């Protein structure tokens, strides 16, 4: 196991099973619709790659990059769009793919921006959900795993741009993120 992590929270086998279940539900929900999947960089990249390969309908995808954390372990509440969509979403069915829903502040801000662009629909797909940390209610339509309030890394999730490449979801050792505050 990697030296910075405390333990495995979600195994690769459990991740794969859940991704396939979510892909099936998405394929059924959007059958016959013009679906654009919007991945939120950088954390959702690995999840989204596995998810879109498992979806059985035609999809297009685009990316947005937003930041509310910087190098901190907690959200600052200030959201910045670093990369916007390349495509016009007016009249399109949009599925936002996020790695983790924590306070809901970033996702709520993002939903407001996307809805103002007049898509046919906007829904959320998140691999992880931390309901105990929620400050703003956001609708997670396709939810992978609800997790406790622990700092997690791996499978795209990072701390200070590290650990994204780990194949499972791990709890990060507290001393790792407390030292660099």
Q: How does pLDDT run across 60-87, given as a tens digit for each residue?
A: 999 999 877 555 555 556 778 999 999 9
Given 14, 16, 86, 102, the catalytic residue: 102
Note the residue count of the chain.
Answer: 181
- Please write the tens of the pLDDT for every residue from 129-179: 999 999 999 999 999 999 999 999 999 999 999 999 999 999 999 888 875
Average pLDDT, the chain: 92
- Please write the tens of the pLDDT for every residue from 9-61: 999 999 999 999 999 999 999 999 999 999 999 999 999 999 999 999 999 99
With 0.75 as the threshold, say if the pTM is over it: yes
| CATH T-level fold of 12-148 | Rossmann fold (3.40.50)
Delimit the domains of the chain by residue range: 12-148
102 assigned to active site: yes
């Amino acid at each position: 196991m990697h030296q910075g992590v405390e333990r495995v929270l979600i195994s690769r086998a459990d991740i794969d099973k859940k991704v396939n279940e979510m892909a099936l539900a998405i394929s059924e929900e959007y059958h016959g619709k013009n679906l654009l999947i919007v991945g939120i960089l950088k954390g959702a990249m690995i999840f989204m790659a596995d998810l879109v390969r498992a979806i059985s309908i035609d999809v297009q995808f685009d990316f947005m990059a937003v930041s509310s954390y910087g190098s901190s372990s907690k959200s600052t509440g200030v959201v910045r769009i670093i990369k916007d969509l390349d495509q016009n979403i007016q009249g399109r069915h949009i599925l936002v793919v996020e790695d983790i829903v924590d306070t809901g502040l970033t996702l709520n801000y993002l939903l407001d921006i996307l809805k103002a662009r007049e898509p046919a629909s906007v829904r959320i797909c998140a691999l992880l959900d931390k309901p105990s940390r929620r400050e703003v209610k956001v609708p997670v339509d396709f939810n992978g795993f609800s997790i406790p309030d622990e700092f997690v890394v791996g499978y795209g999730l990072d701390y200070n741009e590290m650990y994204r490449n780990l194949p499972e979801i791990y709890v990060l050792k507290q001393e790792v993120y407390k030292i660099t505050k």
